[in-house]
Structure 1
Amino acid sequence: MKSTTHPTKPAHELRSPGQEFDMRFTSTPRGARLARRLVSHRLHEWGHPYDTTANDTVTLIAAELAANAVRHGHVPGRDFRLRLTAVTGSDATTLRIEVTDTRTERIPVLSSPAPDAEAGRGLLLVAALATRWGTTPRTAAPGKTVWAEVDVRALLP
């Protein structure tokens, strides 16, 4: 796989952000759906139109991470946070998705579900589509951030 959960330096540490979207959502399926729709809309506004590989890929990753935050990171009465950043360097753009929830004890791990399992493939999709991905603990409060980066150059034909 081309993704790793422990990169030496994520793109956000190498370059400065160009554009940013940051919002809290209710930790419900409706909140996850809204997060997905707003990510797609924001990418469209940033020059990655609907029905392009970049928009479709990053929107799918955001949907998986938001769904995981709702399903596995939910704490009653607590929201999840989604942050989308376009990190622009001299020769490329990296789109970074971060989803933060308040559960510390449930750190995502990449595993292969049984062939007939109805769930458990979300992180496999993230790992297959992202250039890099990983998790970081929250420092100010309990919880974690699961993040993924997509190098837009890698999506070009």
Structure 2
Amino acid sequence: MIWLGDLNYRMSLSYEDTRTLLEENDWDALLEKDQLIIEREAGRVFRGWKEGKISFAPTYKYTHNSDAYAGETVKSKKKRRTPAWCDRILWNGDGIEQLQYLRGESRFSDHRPVCSVFAVEVDANNVSSKIKRGYYSVTSRMGNDKPTLTQRHVLCEPSS
């Protein structure tokens, strides 16, 4: 199972201290104060779930159509939010391997999107007959007389 979205966990750190660590690109020090990591390690949430290594800047809160975090400008009258990794991708289960964990640079929101590439092993013997019928129907239209379900697919290769 893969769980993703704005999980709304924040930093247990002041705005000023967070900004200092951001300017130094010190993700490790920031991640020590990440509330989701703290709660997971304490066993209070997402017990048994995994998350890949975060190697990108916090995804929230940005000024719309800008690369600046909200609250960086003096003229901002809105409540200043401490930058945080609110947007996350976690997974739970056997046969799931994360190949990439990235942050997108879309400016259409006060969040930056995250994306991930996974390799997932599927036991073809346990796939429902409905899914198998759909697979055979699609592949037979593609000219494959005897389609077979392989045990592992990588849908896209990670970039170097």
Give the strand-richer structure, 1 or 2: 1
Instruction: Return the structure number with greater relative CO, CA threshold 8 A, min gap 6.
Output: 1
TM-score class, shorter: 0.3 to 0.5
Instruction: Tell me which structure has the larger Cα radius of gyration.
Output: 2
TM-score (norm 1): 0.33
Give the helix-richer structure, 1 or 2: 1
TM-score (norm 2): 0.33
